[in-house]
Amino acid sequence: GVFLSNLSALVFEIVLTRIFSVTLWYHLAFMVVTAAMAGIGAGGLAAFFIAGRLQPSRVRALLGDVEALKALAVVLFIVVYLAIPFVPGQMVKPTPASMPAFCGIFLLAALPFLMMGLLGGLVFSHYSGSIGKIYAADLGGAGAGVLAAVGRLYLVPAPSLMLLAAAGSGAA
């Protein structure tokens, strides 16, 4: 679960960087890192507040539900983002009229990372007895995600890779 979850998250992040570098131009591709940090931080904070209130028997089911929501968030991002008309340079020089769309894109991009932060926080807090194995799966999945994304960026269209990331979340 942890391995596939992190693999899919890193594939999403790298492919999202590729998509933003084309559609928002390279100056705003850094927004992916900001969305990831904001989402993971918010998810970790949510996990902190709910971890103590969860019954241990309910944690495993909740992890599956959050992973499914992460997969849905990736698909939602693809569907919504690809529906936005591509006008080169529109987001490079944002106007007051384009700011709601820009903020919406950011929040939509951060949503899968929010789920990732929630997952990580809950897994690390509730299964701390197996922290070494969990951390190994975490790092292994992240490394495999980087290799999977970078190795396929030139072979598979970016939206298709995002769908594969969503499928990885669904399988986790």
* Residue-wise pLDDT tens digits, 102-139: 788 889 999 999 999 999 899 888 888 888 898 899 88
Q: Please list, in sequence order, all residues whose beta carbon lies within 8 angstroms of the beta carbon of residue 145, skipping any fewer than 6 positions away.
A: 6, 7, 8, 9, 10, 11, 14
Q: What is the mean pLDDT of the chain?
A: 84
DSSP 94: -
CA distances from 84 to 14, 59, 80, 90, 116 (A): 20, 37, 7, 11, 25
* Residue-wise pLDDT tens digits, 36-62: 999 999 999 999 998 888 887 888 888
The phi and psi torsions of 88 (rounded to 5 degrees) equal: -55, 130
Report the percentage of the chain scoring pLDDT > 70: 92
